[in-house]
Chain A
Amino acid sequence: MAAPPGEPRRVAYLYLLPAFAVYAVFLLYPIGRAVQISLYDWDGLSLGTWAGLDNYVAIVADEGLRAAFGHALVLIVFYAAAPLVIGLALAAILNHAKVRGLGFFRTVVFLPQVIAMVVVAVAWRRVYAPDGSLNALLGALGLDALTRGWLGDYTFALPAVGVVGTWFETGLVTVLLLAGMSRIPLSLYEAARLDGAGAVREFFAVTLPSVRAEIAVALTLTVIAALRTFDLVYVTTRGGPGDSTSVPSYEVYHRAFGLGQVGSAAAIGVTLTVVIFVISFGINRFADRRTS
């Protein structure tokens, strides 16, 4: 923390009150209620019955729920790992070569971040449609054997959703890493050059360690986004075909409002919250250690 601010002021509570009131009523209280509901078997209408930790046990024991969390892990590969690898390469190029049009490139790759996810989903549904442009492209390349309705395919629906994640997270990761790389002092590169390091060794010895903090932030943002995937699945596949693209957030919605298993939905929501807290906390610890 920075220097202790000002002298003691009791008026501070007045400034905090309005924000805290909204926050407490619409976030803190509901998360408490979520924990409470998660301990019951409740259909949302009649009286619930006490279930203890059954709803939490089901997350591990129930095959469908285990699959949903498993799918979230697969999405992490597409949302976090792939953008990190691609982003590192792109940022290294942009930082290293004095390319023209950097501003334009940044505008373009960051654009997916600001487009409503529902719009993104509508666009990609079109790309993946049986008569969509992906199949047209494959056909033009003479790869007709590969064409299919991507989002209706048991094997390919989840990776297809994942690629959309790669598409919209890579720009964010690239711009983030680029900001970090532009702060690396040139003298470090010159020293590496003098030691006879090639471009590849330079990347691993100088660039990569210098952007550790940025990598941590990028991973936090993208992993959480992967775990929270909802809009995209809702609009593109609704968890299908079968349950091949079911994810935790969609299960929360589906169980609470589709199946009338509100207790189970709350338990998934609480579990998701805990997982997100643990990941954020862990990665922030990692970043803090670096700055101190």
Chain B
Amino acid sequence: MISRGERAANYIILSLFAAFALYPVVVILAAALGPARRGGTAGLANFAAAWEIGRFGSYLRTSLAVSVFVVVVSVVLSIMSGYAFGTMRFRGRSLLFYLFMLGIMMPSEAVAVPLYFDLRSLGLIDTFWSISLPQVALSVAFGTFWMRAYFLASNRAIVEAARIDGASSWRILWQVLLPAARPAVVTLTVLVFMWTWNEFLIPLIMVTSESLRTAPLGLAFFQGQYTSGFTLLAAGSVIVATPVVIFYLFLQRHFVRGLLQGAVRE
């Protein structure tokens, strides 16, 4: 049905676009593996040099700690709140749900400024909590929405049967409903992990000490301070981007599904 010429044209258009999409990635990778202007390193040694000079070890540690905390806490809280909204009836249900929905769309830049000044007067600025808890709040809004949709569509007959057997609501959630909810939970986990790992504004505002800098923040500072050539900056960029990219390559389906179906947050 499709002529050979048309098919060739299609492949050319798609290849051109794929090249455009990959181009900056290739620029960074090539630079990261190329010869460094200073230090005389090249290839994989650049990563070790960047790790050392750019202190990316410390930044990755902070990012990992923040991400694990935000993911675990917000996923557990979202499962619980989504369960309530999706399977129970109670007074104020719609109102509370709409309140949560506001959080999905709320831009973090609007809340980060007052949060900074309030946390400062409480002496909580420049702490692990000042980076993590605002991000838990942002993620919980989306997570509640996401898990509610899952529980609404879940099998009511199983829940009713378990209730008749005398199972508590707590047991029904964790032992009856959750095992089947794994795909929804995995999608939520990878999205929250990606958002938290890549977040820039909140750590930028909340953190002054170097030991609490997250990976993207560390990279931004490294760019500002390190001016001898692009090689180590590129190596640092690869280090910062790699964890999420690896997750993406293995769990691509979850990233695509999550970002397409529910991602009103970003």
Contacts and interface: CB of A to CB of B under 8 A. Distances in A.
Nearest to A44: B117
Given A5-B89, A22-B133, A115 B244 contact: yes
A114 B248 contact: yes
Contacts of A277: 102, 105
Nearest to B223: A122
Given A27-B138, A175-B260, A269-B113, A8 B89 contact: yes
Contacts of A253: 109, 201, 204-205
Interface in B78-95: 78, 80-81, 83-90, 93
Contacts of B153: 2
Given A167-B21, A266-B113, A221 B264 contact: yes
A204 interface: no
B84 A15 contact: yes
B17 A109 contact: yes
Interface string B235-256: 0010011001101110010011
Interface in B157-193: 159, 169
A93 interface: yes
A247 to B, nearest CB: 10
A159 B173 CA distance: 50
A33 B31 CA distance: 45
A178 to B, nearest CB: 10
| Most chain A beta carbons < 10 A, residue from B102, B134, B200, B252 | B200
Contact of B107 (A8, A90, A116, A273): A273
Given A9-B90, A115-B241, A265-B113, A167 B96 contact: no
B237 A280 contact: no
Contact of B152 (A2, A117, A252, A256): A2
Interface in A108-136: 108-120, 122-127, 133
Nearest to B110: A269
B107 A34 contact: no
B194 A114 contact: yes
Nearest to B190: A114
Contacts of B23: 127
A113 B77 CA distance: 26
Interface residues of B, number: 97
A257 B201 CA distance: 12
Interface string A200-225: 00000000000000000100110011
Contacts of A221: 263-264, 266
A123 B144 contact: no
Contacts of A111: 21-22, 25, 245, 248
Contacts of B99: 28
B169 A11 contact: yes
A107 interface: yes
B77 A18 contact: yes
B140 A19 contact: yes
Contacts of A105: 14, 18
A20 B223 CA distance: 38
A34 B114 contact: yes
B230 A90 contact: no
Interface in A71-102: 86, 89-90, 93-94, 96-97, 99
B240 A119 contact: yes
Contacts of B125: none
Contact of B109 (A86, A89, A252): A252
Given A37-B114, A116-B216, A119-B28, A97 B197 contact: no
A228 B80 CA distance: 30
Interface stretch (A53-61, A62-70, A143-151, A229-237): A229-237
A26 B28 contact: no
Contacts of B219: 116, 118-119, 122
Contact of A9 (B27, B106, B169): B169
A23 B74 CA distance: 10
Interface string B1-25: 0100011001101100110111111
B88 A11 contact: yes
Contacts of B65: none
A170 B87 CA distance: 37
Interface in A170-186: 170-172, 175-176, 179
Contact of A252 (B73, B110, B151, B248): B110
11 contacts: A5-B89, A6-B156, A9-B169, A31-B111, A33-B114, A34-B111, A105-B18, A117-B198, A118-B240, A123-B237, A231-B200
Given A123-B25, A123-B237, 8 more contacts: A9-B88, A13-B84, A111-B22, A123-B28, A179-B260, A230-B109, A230-B201, A262-B117
- Closest A-B pairs by Cβ, 7 of them: A269-B110, A26-B137, A33-B114, A19-B81, A123-B24, A15-B84, A30-B111
